[in-house]
Chains A and B, each alone.
Chain A
Amino acid sequence: EIVLTQSPGTLSLSPGERATLSCRASQTIGNNYLAWYQKKPGQPPRLLIDDATTRADGIPDRFSGSGSGTDFTLTITRLEPEDFAVYYCQQCATAPLTFGGGTKVEIK
């Protein structure tokens, strides 16, 4: 099983600041099949990034994904008020599919 470790656990930032979230895998993720999701309370998760770097339909370009192999990053260039949420990475290469523990981006 591929274990995903997300860091930091919590990120305290102000609107307009840049957020950098990390997701590290215990082994190489084949074809970089790594996805990022945004989760808000009472709502289902929303797919942001697929295949490590591809923005999903309708996702603003302030969200970007990078990385390969075992180290991946989600960057939000300028935080908007609606971006404060919990973010999860998921590897979609090898069963069982696994999620990271999440990074909470909170308002400072």
Chain B
Amino acid sequence: EVQLVESGGGLVQPGGSLRLSCADSGFTSSTYWMNWVRQAPGKGLEWVAIIKQDGSDIHYVASVKGRFTISRDNAQNSMYLQMNSLRVEDTAVYFCTGGEGWTSSYWGQGTLVTVSS
């Protein structure tokens, strides 16, 4: 069973960087596509990025292309989101998700990223 736990959120100034991590304590996420999905305060869900099981296929939402990098380390049952050049509008709860296809069948509890001066 996939059990996802995010970490790495916090307060950062505009233009700064942050690296989010997602650990799967169920040790099965290597068989799944993995995503990052975010929800800004008072707003709806926004898909951010997806990575294939072996890392060979990656997609991003347009607003983060060139700034965010998704990666994974299956040996560590972990996935990451490196976020650079952060903007105020990147403030959100970031969820790690996974599934056999592109659907998010499994979700972590989320980690809050606040971009503010």
Asked if B59 and A45 sit within 8 Å, CB to CB, the answer is no
Tell me whether B103 and A92 are in contact (CB under 8 A).
yes
Query: Apart from A39-B45, A45-B107, A99-B45, what are 17 other A-B pairs with CB-CB below 8 Å?
Result: A33-B101, A33-B102, A37-B104, A44-B109, A45-B37, A47-B105, A50-B105, A86-B44, A92-B101, A92-B102, A92-B103, A93-B102, A95-B50, A96-B62, A97-B47, A97-B102, A99-B44
Q: Please, could you name 11 A-B residue pairs with CB atoms under 8 Å apart, sorted by A? A: A35-B104, A37-B45, A44-B109, A45-B95, A47-B105, A50-B103, A88-B45, A96-B59, A96-B60, A97-B59, A102-B45
> CB within 8 Å of B: which of A78-104?
86, 88, 90, 92-93, 95-102
Q: Look across to chain B and name the residue whose beta carbon is closest to the beta carbon of A100.
A: B44
B107 touches A44 (CB 8 A): yes
Interface size band for A: 20 to 34
CA distance A86 to B45 in the complex (A): 11
Once the chains are docked, how many angstroms separate the CA of A44 from the CA of B101? 19
Question: Considering the chains assembled together, what is the distance between the CA atoms of A44 and B94 in angstroms?
Answer: 10
Contact of A97 with B45 at beta-carbon distance under 8 Å, contacts A37-B104, A44-B107 already known: no
Cα distance, A35 to B100, chains bound together (Å): 13
- Please report B residues at the A interface, Cβ cutoff 8 Å: 35, 37, 44-47, 50, 59-62, 95, 101-105, 107-110
Counted as pairs of residues, one from A and one from B, with CB atoms less than 8 Å apart, the total is 60
Interchain residue pairs A-B with the least CB separation, the first 9: A95-B59, A44-B107, A92-B102, A97-B47, A99-B45, A102-B44, A35-B103, A96-B61, A92-B103
1/0 per residue, CB under 8 A from B, across A48-59: the answer is 001100001000
